[in-house]
Every structure is written in C-alpha cells, then in structure tokens.
Amino acid sequence: MKQNGFFGQWGGAYIPEILHQTFAELTIALRQAQNDPNFWQEYLELMSTYSCRPTPLTFAENLTKHFGGAKIYIKREDLNHTGAHKANNVMGQGLLVKRMGKKRVIAETGAGQHGMATATMAAKFGLECTIYMGEVDVLRQRPNVFWMEKMGATVIPVQDGSKTLKDAINEAFRDWVTNVDSTHYVLGTACGPAPFPEMVSWFQSIIGTEARKQILARHGKLPARVYACVGGGSNAMGIFQGFLYSDEVQLVGVEAGGKGLGSGMHASRLCGHDASPGVAQGYKTMFLQNSDGQMRETHSVAAGLDYVGVSPILSDLAEKGRVRFESATDDEVMTALDLTMRMEGIIPALESTHGFVQAFKEAPELSPDDAIIINQSGRGDKDIFTIAHAFNDPSWKEFIIARAKEYS
Ligand SMILES: *Cc1c(COP(=O)(O)O)cnc(C)c1O
C-alpha cells in the first residue's frame, strides 16, 4: 500500500474534517502494532484460545472423487467463534482499541453477523457497544438481534432511507463524528476509508498464512487455484495474501450473481459490466450505481454478499489481472450447497458456497496432481430459514406455523 491509502487508483480516505485527527491516530496505532512483534503474538494467542485457530484444512475426499480432477481442500473458517472469519477482524480491532484506550465501540451490520461478532468482542473486552442496523434488517434478522442484546450490546434500528445496510453505515459514521474521543468504529470488511481496508486485510491474513503452511505440508506444493467468495472482500483478501506473490497460484474471487448478471438483480462489481468507478462511503472503488452516482439496489440469496461496493484492494488486483473474478447465481449456490452437505457432511454459509460453485466448475479440468483450496468463510447454520424455504421443505413450514401458534 502507498502511504496515502491508495492501491493503484483505488481507496483513499474521503472523510469529513472532524475525523482527520481520529484517522491519523488510528493509522499510528496500526503502524505501531504492525511494528511490534508482541502485538501479533498476543493476537495469535487470543485467536487460539478464544476462536479455534489455526482452523483446519479439510481434504474433501468425496467431492474430489465425484469431480475427478484436482484435489479439493476446504479452509475451515466456519470453525471460528461465532461461525465465520469475521472473528479474525473484530478480535484484532479489539486489541487495537485496548491499546488506544477507548472504552466504546460501534459497528454497522446488515444481516447481523458482524454485529454479533462485534458484540462478543465488546463483552469479552468490557467495552460499551452500540450496533446500527436498518429497521428492515432488524425485523428480518431477529435471532442475531436477540443474541447481540443478550451480550449487552444496544441495537439501534435505523429508520432512514431504505432502512438497510447503507443507512446503518451512514448512521454509524454520524455517531462516530459526535463521539470520536471515546469511540472506535469497528468496520466489518476490507472497505471504507484508509486505513480500514489495509487493517482488516492484515488481521484476515492469518487465514492465508495458515493455509499456505497447511497445503505445503499436506500436498507438498502450492495449490493451482484458490477460491473465495467476495462481499466486501475481507475473507478473500485474507486467504489470497498467503499466495499473492506466488504467480503460479491462480486467485479466483466469486461474487453474487443473484438472479443472473443480465437481470440487474445481483451484487457483481468486478465481474460483469454493471459497476463503475465512484467515491462513496469514504473511499474510491467500483460501485453498483446509476449514472447520477445513486447507489443501486443489489440482490443475493446470501445477505453477506449483498453490498454495492467492494474492497479497493480487490479493485486494484482486478485491474492488474492478479485476481480473476467470476459470479455464481442463487440457483447454482443451492445446488452446490446440497451436494456439499450430502457428500462431505459440511454446511457452508450461503456466502461461502459461491466459492464452491466456481471451484466445482473448474476442478474437472485440472489434474489429480493439482490441489485447489476453497475458503469456507462461514457455517450455514444461520441460513436455516433461507435454505429450508428455498428447498421448499414442507415439514419446516409446519414447524414454523406450530411455533408461531404458541405465541398467538
Ligand atoms: C460477512 C460474510 C461474508 C462477506 O464478507 P467479506 O468481507 O467479503 O468476507 C462472507 N462469508 C460469510 C460467512 C460472512 O459472514
């Protein structure tokens, strides 16, 4: 990264004057942490005692036989505390907050997964915690809201605009501007103004560092290809960093194809031709926007991929041709999920399953001497409502109706 927070032409920090000092302090805290080996040691210790790290690399033997090409390995970020790679980011930021001596954290959340992870971190570190969430999302994601509140966080439903993620982001920034001295904003992915993209990617690099060691030990050489789903881009940046400077390893990011790239109902920014460069939410990247710069509605069956922007680091790596971008549709995701559950007894999150779709398309064209790695960013238990609905499971419907009757 360049000192000014740009990656090629992407990134930067387009922030209000009042936040300049805070961003300067945050950048200094980050640099000090990066230059202090004890910090990373403390981070590794925390992640191994609180979040099951290192996470395993699982050989998917049955899927490998089924597709008859490359050996398929799965990096198991689903085994983190709270069920996804998000723990890597929030715990790292928690340690930074401790160093900076702040007592309060805030965060935005869409589906609630990042809010959950932040609430656990705040509980563990004894910080006051406020989570901003669009009112529509609060209604849709009651289980996550319930747990956040049980862990002591205050969840504030945002009534503005479309009452979803982008409105929650705006409200979180408003809070931060008012409470800069006491408060740190725990941004959830490798987006936003510098230094967030670099900082979040740094904490997530723990995935790629482990995966590189693990595949060399198991397979004796580097993988031919590495696949990761891309919402904001943090889990992808996490695993890609283990292989970024090994040119023989192809890196493949898979975005939400929703109802298809031609449908207008998707969240593909770097794959396809619907996105354009823009500056919003404090940084420059490829956004799904109309010609006036108004953000467009996005769609994905996976709530965590349903976002208008993308990491500026990935916009740069796409432009340089180092990462190839593909997309997977909602229907393809359901088929791949079904197969993975039955053949391996593993339930990937709907987000993660996007990476599986593309890996399954390409595995047969590779040789059994090749290995590929799929980053399973999270577990699918949280998706039971969506998955049971998509499979049109009749007994699930009966169950929901019976539970509802208990309350009426
Ligand atoms: C939040 C989430 C994502 C999307 O975020 P990235 O920053 O793109 O990694 C992907 N998978 C899971 C399981 C998530 O919870």
Catalytic-residue membership of 268: no
Does the 6-48+84-193 domain belong in CATH 3.90.226.10? no
Distance 383 CA to ligand 1 centre (A): 13
Q: What pLDDT score was predicted for residue 162?
A: 85
Portion of the chain with pLDDT greater than 90, in percent: 93
pTM for the structure as a whole: 0.97
52-83+197-390 fold: Rossmann fold (3.40.50)
Which residue CA neighbors atom 14 of ligand 1 most closely?
Answer: 304
Mean pLDDT of 223-234: 98
DSSP letters for 384-403: HHHHHHHTT-HHHHHHHHHH
What's the angle, vertex CA 34, arms to CA 29 and CA 37, rounded to 5? Answer: 120
Strand order in the sheet with 371-376: 57-59, 71-76, 371-376, 225-229, 250-258, 323-329
Q: Predicted confidence band at 1 (pLDDT cuts at 50, 70, 90)?
A: very low
Catalytic-labelled residue, pool 71, 75, 86, 163? 86
Query: Which two structure tokens, joined as six digits, stand for 165?
Result: 């993620």
Distance 229 CA to ligand 1 centre (A): 7
Distance 349 CA to ligand 1 centre (A): 9
Tens digit of pLDDT for each residue in 134-151? 998 898 889 999 999 999
Distance 396 CA to ligand 1 centre (A): 26
Kindly list the domain boundaries of the chain, sorted by start residue.
6-48+84-193, 52-83+197-390
N residues, the chain: 408
Mean pLDDT of 368-397: 95
8 Å CB contact between 223 and 370:
yes
**How far apart, in whole angstroms, are the C-alpha atoms of residue 85 and residue 203?**
10
Tens digit of pLDDT for each residue in 103-119? 999 999 998 999 999 99
**How far apart, in whole angstroms, are the C-alpha atoms of residue 346 and residue 338?**
10
Closest CA to 166 of 202, 128, 192: 192
* H or E segment to which residue 331 belongs: helix 330-344
Tens digit of pLDDT for each residue in 289-333? 999 989 998 999 999 999 999 999 999 999 999 999 999 999 999
Whether residue 3 is predicted with pLDDT greater than 80 in this model: the reply is: no
Catalytic-labelled residue, pool 205, 311, 327, 377? 377
Q: Which of 165, 198, 229, 374 has most ligand 1 atoms within 8 Å of its beta carbon, as the pocket-test mutant? A: 229
Which residue CA neighbors atom 3 of ligand 1 most closely?
Answer: 304
Distance 82 CA to ligand 1 centre (A): 12
Spatial CB neighbours of 268, under 8 Å, sequence gap ≥ 6: 255, 256, 257, 258, 261, 274, 275, 325, 327
Catalytic-labelled residue, pool 77, 108, 344, 362? 108
**How far apart, in whole angstroms, are the C-alpha atoms of residue 23 and residue 3?**
13
**How far apart, in whole angstroms, are the C-alpha atoms of residue 12 and residue 4?**
7
Q: What pLDDT score was predicted for residue 165?
A: 87
Q: For the chain, how long is the longest CA-to-CA vector?
A: 60
**How far apart, in whole angstroms, are the C-alpha atoms of residue 71 and residue 336?**
17
**How far apart, in whole angstroms, are the C-alpha atoms of residue 240 and residue 251?**
7
Which residue CA neighbors atom 2 of ligand 1 most closely?
Answer: 304
Catalytic-residue membership of 86: yes
- Answer whether 6-48+84-193 and 52-83+197-390 agree in fold: yes
Range in 68-77, 155-164, 252-261 with the lowest mean pLDDT? 155-164
- Name residues contacting ligand 1 (CB within 6 A): 84, 86, 113, 189, 229-235, 304-305, 349, 351-352, 377-378
Helix (H, G, I), strand (E, B) or coil at 104: strand
Sign of CA dihedral 235, 114, 305, 294: negative
